[in-house]
Amino acid sequence: MPAAGKSTIGVVLAKRSRRRFVDTDLLLQERAGRPLQQILSEEGIEAFRRLEEQCVLSLDCRQTVVATGGSVVYSSRAVGHLARGGVLVYLHVPVEELVARIPDMDTRGMVRRPGQSFEDLYAERLPLYRRAADVEVDCSGMSPVETVAAVERALSKATLGRRLELEP
């Protein structure tokens, strides 16, 4: 979801793990030469999602921390591509906390249908995030430092579990 901390946490995780960092929202803006909200306004939701999907599919996700736009979960191809590259982490933040973090919903560059409330968008996406994620980290009330530590713990457990599954 927007304002969950994907980019903030992703940058720190990438530095701490000596991996590359890619923010697909920034990459999409760079490739399109326009802000996200302008792309949405001029081309519409479906065109935006296609551009976002193309952007994600073009990435080499190996050894990379990727912060995606919140709408990437609508593309099974993009989610599958990300999953083949590593562990998918969902940063769970309660809807009330997200609303408090976003000062102006109308200029955020958020992919939602006209008239759709943020709360409805949250309810729509929550099951998609949970289905896509290998790991869910509850970030309720956490600072960025606390969130990074929680994600590192969760990733440590997840990667240990994967190694154990692979061993005979």
Q: What value, to the nearest 5°, has the Cα angle with vertex 6 and ends 80 and 75?
A: 25
pLDDT above 70: residue 161: no
Q: Give me the pLDDT at residue 114, please.
A: 86
Boundaries of domain holding 145: 6-166
Smallest CA-to-CA distance from 77 within 102, 58, 96 is with: 58
Is residue 1 a part of any domain in this protein? no
CATH assignment of the domain containing 158 = 3.40.50.300
DSSP 57-101: HT---TTEEEEPPGGGGG-HHHHHHHHHHS--EEEE--HHHHHHH
Is residue 70 a part of any domain in this protein? yes
Span of 17-31, 65-79, 97-111, 154-168 with lowest mean pLDDT = 154-168
Q: Give me the pLDDT at residue 148, please.
A: 95
Is residue 98 a part of any domain in this protein? yes
Percent of residues, the chain, with pLDDT higher than 70: 93
Is residue 45 a part of any domain in this protein? yes
Q: Which residues does 130 contact at the CB level (< 8 Å), separation at least 6?
A: 90, 136
The neighbour count for residue 98, using CB atoms within 10 Å, is 19
> How much is the pTM?
0.88
Is residue 64 a part of any domain in this protein? yes
Q: Give me the pLDDT at residue 110, please.
A: 82
d(CA 59, CA 79): 12
Rg (CA), the chain: 16
d(CA 44, CA 3): 22
Domain count, the chain: 1
- Fill in the DSSP letter of residue 109: -
Q: Which residues does 23 contact at the CB level (< 8 Å), separation at least 6?
A: 6, 7, 10, 66, 67
